């Protein structure tokens, strides 16, 4: 086979592979969310990150999951928390605590439906080097 013909065949195969690859659903970005890392350390292959998260009125974290465990306490406002089937699995007022398990099997989102900011102090316990959260596509119910 001539070299230019082999190159053309390779390009054609690559183009067909790209064309036949199913499109992935896009992530759902957060809106009105800010975060501030208050403290962090790594011990025994785990990152421990203490973070203050503020969600503006009407804001959302977007659909996401965590690679590690998350423990939080609401210090201002009210957090409304949704499972991946779009049902509310918790409404947390000031002093309310929340735990979120790890893994892509626990896709969820948080929203602030109140008139003022919602503040959540969170401790992430993640495998070292993991992101604090990973975006996930919106479920079909959303």
Q: Pick from 117, 122, 121: which is nearest to 78 by CA?
A: 117
- Per-residue model confidence (pLDDT) at position 3: 47
Q: Pick from 93, 58, 59: which is nearest to 75 by CA?
A: 93
Q: Report how far residue 19's alpha carbon sits from residue 105's, in angstroms, rounded to the nearest whole number.
A: 29
| Residue pLDDT, tens place only, 89-125 | 999 999 999 999 999 999 999 999 999 999 999 999 9
Q: Report how far residue 116's alpha carbon sits from residue 89's, in angstroms, rounded to the nearest whole number.
A: 21
Q: Report how far residue 112's alpha carbon sits from residue 17's, in angstroms, rounded to the nearest whole number.
A: 42
| Residue pLDDT, tens place only, 18-59 | 333 333 345 688 999 999 999 999 999 999 999 999 999 999
- Per-residue model confidence (pLDDT) at position 28: 83
């Amino acid at each position: 086979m001539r070299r230019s013909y082999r190159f053309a065949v390779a390009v054609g195969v690559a183009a067909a592979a790209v064309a036949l690859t199913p499109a992935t659903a896009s992530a759902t970005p957060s809106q009105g969310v800010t975060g501030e890392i208050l403290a962090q350390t790594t011990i025994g292959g785990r990152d421990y990150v203490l973070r203050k998260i503020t969600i503006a009125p009407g804001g959302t974290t977007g659909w996401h999951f965590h690679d590690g465990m998350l423990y939080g306490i609401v210090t201002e406002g009210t957090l409304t928390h949704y499972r991946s089937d779009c049902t509310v699995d918790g409404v947390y007022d000031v002093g309310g605590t929340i735990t979120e398990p790890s893994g892509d099997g626990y896709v969820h989102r948080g929203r602030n439906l109140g008139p003022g900011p919602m503040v959540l102090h969170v401790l992430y316990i993640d495998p070292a080097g993991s992101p604090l959260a990973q975006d996930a596509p919106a479920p079909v119910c959303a």
